[in-house]
Amino acid sequence: MTEIDPKSEPCGELCIQTVAMPADTNPSGDIFGGWLLSQMDIAGGVAARNLSRGRVATIAVESMVFNKPVQVGDVVSCYADLERVGRTSMTFRVEVWSVRRDSFVREKVTEGVFTFVAIGEDGRSRPIPNEGSKI
């Protein structure tokens, strides 16, 4: 069973979950930050697509904080929490939690803020539907 830090729980909806693999490491053997950033962008994109009911594009990534390294074999879960919705854009805080391969302890390893814009068939920004549903 996964041990959970009683002081902290993930915020938002679980958008993706994957396992960190050896091909995703940097020269030190830790999971490469770029891989983790990519997973976060995918998770935020899933949440933004669901909210806007269509195609989206990432327009900004801000305030990235890498708190702890991710190791090979850790189960990585990305949660997206809606922070703001505008006419054509939306901003999500994306948290990454890792269940450690050997200890089964769940820890928050990183978080960041991602902004997406809804894209229409013409490739231009489009309004987000008023009835935008939860992720």
Residue 123 inside a domain? The answer is no
Indicate the number of domains in the chain: 1
Q: Among 26-35, 69-78, 108-117, where is mean pLDDT lowest?
A: 26-35
Q: Are 115 and 60 in contact (CB under 8 A)?
A: yes
In a domain, 65, yes or no: yes
Domain region containing 51: 7-118
Q: Report the predicted TM-score, pTM, of the whole model to 2 decimal places.
A: 0.89
Is residue 41 in some structural domain? yes
Q: Is residue 126 part of a domain?
A: no
Distance CA 60, CA 4 (A): 31
Is residue 127 situated within a structural domain?
no
Phi/psi of residue 119, each to 5°?
-120, 130
Share of the chain above pLDDT 70, in %: 91
Exposure of 134 in the CB half-sphere (CA atoms within 13 A): 4
Residues sharing a CB contact under 8 Å with residue 2, sequence separation 6 or more, in sequence order: 99, 104, 105, 106
pLDDT greater than 70 at residue 3: no
CATH number of the domain to which 52 belongs: 3.10.129.10
